Amino acid sequence: MLQRLAFETLCESSAEEKVRLTFSLQGYIEQLQAGELEELFQLSLEEECPGLPSSVILVSPDQVPRRRLGSLHGCAAMLHAVAHIEFNAINLALDVVCRFAGMPKAFYLDWCRVAVEEAYHFSLVSDRLAELGFNYGDFPAHHGLWEMALKTKSDPLARMAMVPRLLEARGLDVTPGLQARMLAAGEKKGAGILDIIFRDEVGHVRVGNYWFRWLCKSRGLDPLEIFRVYLPLYSAPKHRGEMNLEARLSAGFDQDDINVLLAYSNA
């Protein structure tokens, strides 16, 4: 039942209904803790793209307009970008729950909890957008996170390596600077929401790091070497800007992980 609800929620295109369905997963988490997993199923080809509101216009990353925080419109555009990231994060967590069979029960519990927290983040940002007179879908967005999900759809190890511990970890680097810019622009409520998101995202990246290492150990692979191999194999975007080392270390990285990423990015 849990996996079927996760799949139904993944396919749901209404943002409001997706949030509602994701929150309802909480009721199944205790059942999952006490019982056995039902047999998992694979997503069919036509179901690989998650539900997205029809109002959301997707463009390539280089076509997304620069967001300037010196105006109400600029603050709303930046918050919209955050909302889109959180909406994608709901789908990514749900996809992990219903795509990858044969993992320990704790794996599905972890990613269900992540999905619920991502839905909470999206609702916070969406509500703030509404207070400013905007809605999710009022600005163009890109689908970079989901493109990497499709690249890694056949292997949970690749998914853990390339999504939570690569792409999502970048939020730990950029969020403090974004908060400072919001505060400078007078958007105190949005900056406060980012406090909540940042706190929880440290935990989400830690979940990705944990299961990446668990999968490496179960397959007899060296985590550093496989990360080094996967970066060019999956055409990972290179890191730009400063790293938030304190947050990354708290999220389960170590200095060797960071050195591998920096060596790839500086090559």
Q: What is the pLDDT of residues 182-228, one digit of tens each?
A: 999 899 999 999 999 999 999 999 999 999 999 999 999 999 999 99
pLDDT at 196: 97
258 band by pLDDT with thresholds 50, 70 and 90:
very high
* pLDDT (tens digit per residue) in 6-65: 888 999 999 999 999 999 988 777 776 776 555 555 554 345 568 889 888 887 666 666
Helix, strand, coil shares of the chain, percent, nearest 5, are: 70, 0, 30
Share of residues in the chain with pLDDT > 70 (%): 89
Q: What's at 28, amino acid-wise?
A: Y
Give mean pLDDT, residues 122-139: 96
Instruction: Give the pLDDT of residue 45.
Output: 37
**What are the residues whose beta carbons fall under 8 Å from the beta carbon of 51, sequence distance 6 or more?**
10, 11, 12, 13, 14, 18, 91
Average pLDDT, the chain: 89
Residues 91-106 pLDDT 10s: 999 999 988 888 988 8
Determine whether 60 is exposed, middle or buried from the number of CB atoms within 10 Å of its CB (0-12, 13-18, 19+): exposed
pLDDT confidence of residue 147: 86
Q: Tell me, what's the pLDDT at 231?
A: 97
- Quote the pTM value: 0.92
Strand partners, 58: 141
Percent of the chain at pLDDT exceeding 90: 67
What are the structure tokens assigned to 26, written together? 């909480």
What are the backbone angles phi and psi of residue 58, rounded to the nearest 5°?
-100, 130
